[in-house]
Structure 1
């Protein structure tokens, strides 16, 4: 059963998005690529969401095209205004995504509040993980601010916010419960990380000769960022190889990015280098 909410304006229990917003500060930062496909993999580990991708998405036939269609409206939801954002369009993309769970009499629908909220939760959690790992250690107050801003973000979709935790502490409890008791190694998630051991398939837009030259460097780096960027529980469920030595390398890599010199240099680069084009437009609009 789906529940559609009409409220899209910030409420008293939330904080606005915009200049000064920590969601704006971190979500569009181009260093976000360092976390790999963490949110997408975790999304597909919820059985109902993974099945929707398996049954309805072009993810398997053309992963790059799926990303090109998905990413812009998400960014335009975050960096749009309260009156002009892509939230309800994102919601409406999912009206037809429904079906039956294999081997059961249960049905799934992408707009089921619990399913839809999980997708959003992975995007919010990626902000926490990215900032803490590659930028700076967030304070409790900053973590709470991000959470309250993310509530405004979620309400822009016009979907019931019934499953949404009230506070960051409650969100952490929700996240831990999902990690330990709900997520599974769905085929959609296993496909999404298959290149860790098999190598990344050649993108359709890349010439075979170019890919032959690039792939020996790209594939090990993609495997390192993907596997290192996943929670240990997800790595275990997906049977991804990861040693203590690799973990130490990953933590040194992350610490380098968090270091003062690197942050000092990054902050002095042009904004169009540091941020996605969607974020740059949002900041220019104010």
Structure 2
């Protein structure tokens, strides 16, 4: 890798991407932040089987599977070794069939540049906000390096139009937060399922009160991430009110992670993906593999071309990405 690669070994970008905060704290905000945009909420209501009620998240395993899949298909772009290009290709291609019509009759496609940029931009902002809230970024330069690393992850799967600097990104991001985002039923669905964890499969006889106690550490950690990674203005509408205990809890989590040496915390993702590649059967090898997605491509293209003429403005991005990950 080039020394200018913001995800090269030893960079702040790679350290943040490899940190446990991405999975433990930023994963749920990564689902919430894009869904705050009414256009994306509408798409999820149409396309996401859990959100539209056609598939029930009946147990903890079902919910966890979604979260881990999201994590693997994003951070695998960095840490899946020789399979990283396959992960990026899978993440890009799995959005190919996501096309339809907005309530006002306008067509949409997941690759539309504005939606594509906002989706990744809102996710990366949540992660950087959590790192900031925990005091993990020691200077403005480190924040800039973290931002460049997160932008590079998006670039590798086709998000190529985010601002160059973090200050420029905030200037792009803040007006959307102020003027466009809102908490709808789709966001509330994510929050409720994340903070009120379903019992594991086979635990139906365990009393609800006992399960609440047993799941409390995980639920509280998720809450810390949501409160740190989603702007304050949306907390009340999500049914969340920051208490003195929340503030104390956030400081405690931050103090813990600041005490962990960077050389240790940054090895979380590399170790996780090494284990998954050796012993697991991750999504980029199965439902999101090149072969599986290629089989589905003709039908997906037909839906995209017939339902969403706006895709033509983004054909250059598609060709560049397809070439980059061929």
Q: TM-score range by the shorter chain?
A: 0.7 to 0.9
Residue number in structure 1 paired with 2:42: 51
1:228 is displaced (CA, Å) by: 2.5
Aligned length: 260
Change (3 A) 1:166 1:35: closer
**Contact conserved, 2:38 with 2:182, CA < 8 A, in 1?**
yes
Residue number in structure 2 paired with 1:17: 7
Residue number in structure 2 paired with 1:95: 96
Shifted more, 66-75 versus 215-224: the winner is 215-224
Residue number in structure 1 paired with 2:310: none
**Contact conserved, 2:26 with 2:226, CA < 8 A, in 1?**
no
For residues 257 and 31 of structure 1, the distance between their equivalents in structure 2, rounded to whole angstroms, comes to 10
For residues 184 and 73 of structure 2, the distance between their equivalents in structure 1, rounded to whole angstroms, comes to 25
Residue number in structure 1 paired with 2:33: 42
Change (3 A) 1:268 1:80: closer
**Contact conserved, 1:271 with 1:280, CA < 8 A, in 2?**
no
**Contact conserved, 2:30 with 2:123, CA < 8 A, in 1?**
yes
1:134 is displaced (CA, Å) by: 2.2
Is 1:275 the counterpart of 2:268? The answer is: yes
SS in 2 for 1:39: helix
RMSD: 3.4
**Superposed counterparts of 1:1-12, under 5 Å:** none
Change (3 A) 1:114 1:82: farther
1:144 is displaced (CA, Å) by: 1.3
**Superposed counterparts of 1:175-190, under 5 Å:** 175-190=173-188
Change (3 A) 1:138 1:117: farther
For residues 41 and 218 of structure 1, the distance between their equivalents in structure 2, rounded to whole angstroms, comes to 21
For residues 170 and 270 of structure 1, the distance between their equivalents in structure 2, rounded to whole angstroms, comes to 32
Tell me the TM-score normalized by structure 1: 0.76
For residues 171 and 156 of structure 1, the distance between their equivalents in structure 2, rounded to whole angstroms, comes to 18
Change (3 A) 1:84 1:269: closer
1:276 is displaced (CA, Å) by: 3.3
**Contact conserved, 1:37 with 1:226, CA < 8 A, in 2?**
yes
For residues 257 and 113 of structure 2, the distance between their equivalents in structure 1, rounded to whole angstroms, comes to 40
**Superposed counterparts of 1:10-159, under 5 Å:** 15-32=5-22, 33-35=24-26, 37-60=28-51, 61-62=56-57, 63-80=63-80, 84-85=84-85, 86-102=87-103, 104-159=104-159
Question: Of 198, 202, 209, which aligns to 2:205?
Answer: 209
SS in 2 for 1:276: helix
**Contact conserved, 1:36 with 1:222, CA < 8 A, in 2?**
no
Is 1:263 the counterpart of 2:253? The answer is: no
Q: Which has the higher helix share?
A: 2
SS in 2 for 1:99: strand
